[in-house]
């Protein structure tokens, strides 16, 4: 994942590199997303380490900055574009490392909602997922040592973990044990049921700094792939509660 520290020249270089049609490539970055194209004008939104969100417009090869937010009280730690509140319009959901969450209208860039200052001191990882198959997604994040599930439409804390010492830097969601239900996986070794939030497994060791999911042995169950120190990979069978041996 990319750091939230972006220079404008770096953003332009990234846009030229991925091209006008490769929107999925931008999802590899924590703080850079495409917005809906309006009247053939392509739009990009990104957040920076100085606590501001920027919008660029262009034709796919040349972009110009058209809007910058006010200071959002902390470095932008995560940014998502989705219909988070069920109004059939996309919002920009912004998380800062100092515990603030903002919904920004994706068309006129006004702030629709933000959580109260001081509700959380620090957010260390975040995601936006539909965990319960209702019309709108939930906000999942680790704040002040807890895993939090936040209702995206009505903006309230729906659930928090009993664990209060989580140090997670990444989370993801997927069916990692083949039971037909999704799990929330934290990189520091915790696996929670994504519907009822029960703790399914606490690994005796972390899963890595970065996580990915892949069915490596074609058994229909996703393996959890963890990256360590930017170069080493380990593979975990969550259904068997152990590290996977790659030998045959």
Instruction: Measure the N-to-C terminal CA separation of the chain; round to a whole number of Å.
Output: 32
Token pair recorded at residue 76: 């932008």
Q: Quote the strand ranges of 170-248, DSSP E.
A: 171-174, 183-186, 190-193, 199-202, 210-214, 223-228, 232-237, 242-243
Low-confidence ranges of the chain (pLDDT < 70): 1-28, 246-248
Task: Report d(CA 183, CA 192) in Å as an integer.
Answer: 5
3-state secondary structure at position 245: coil
pTM of the predicted model as reported, rounded to 2 decimal places? 0.87
Q: What is the pLDDT of residue 2?
A: 39
Residue 158 near residue 138, CB atoms below 8 Å: yes
Token pair recorded at residue 66: 């058209």
Report the Cα 202 to chain-centroid distance in Å: 22
Task: Report d(CA 14, CA 212) in Å as an integer.
Answer: 22
Q: Tell me: the pLDDT tens digits for 22-32?
A: 545 566 677 99
Q: Which residue has the tokens 């929670």?
A: 192
Task: Report d(CA 143, CA 160) in Å as an integer.
Answer: 10
């Amino acid at each position: 994942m990319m750091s939230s520290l972006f220079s404008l020249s770096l953003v332009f270089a990234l846009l030229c590199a991925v091209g006008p049609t490769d929107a999925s490539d931008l999802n590899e970055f924590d703080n850079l997303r495409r917005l809906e194209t309006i009247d053939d004008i392509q739009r990009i939104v990104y957040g920076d380490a100085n606590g501001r969100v920027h919008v660029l417009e262009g034709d796919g090869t040349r972009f110009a900055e058209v809007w910058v937010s006010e200071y959002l009280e902390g470095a932008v730690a995560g940014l998502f574009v989705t219909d988070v509140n069920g109004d059939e319009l996309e919002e920009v959901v912004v998380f800062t490392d100092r515990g603030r969450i903002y919904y920004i209208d994706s068309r006129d860039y006004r702030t629709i909602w933000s959580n109260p200052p001081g509700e959380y001191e620090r957010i260390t990882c975040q995601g936006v997922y539909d965990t319960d198959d209702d019309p709108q997604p939930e906000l999942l994040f680790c704040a002040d040592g807890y895993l939090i599930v936040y209702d995206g439409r009505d903006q309230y804390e729906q659930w928090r973990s009993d664990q209060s010492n989580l140090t997670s830097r990444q989370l993801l969601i997927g069916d990692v044990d083949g039971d037909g239900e999704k799990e929330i996986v934290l990189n520091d070794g915790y696996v929670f049921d994504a519907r009822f939030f029960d703790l399914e497994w606490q690994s005796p060791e972390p899963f890595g700094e970065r996580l990915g999911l892949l069915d490596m042995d074609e058994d229909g169950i996703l393996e959890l792939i963890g990256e360590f120190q930017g170069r080493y990979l380990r593979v975990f069978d969550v259904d068997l509660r152990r590290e996977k041996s790659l030998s045959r």
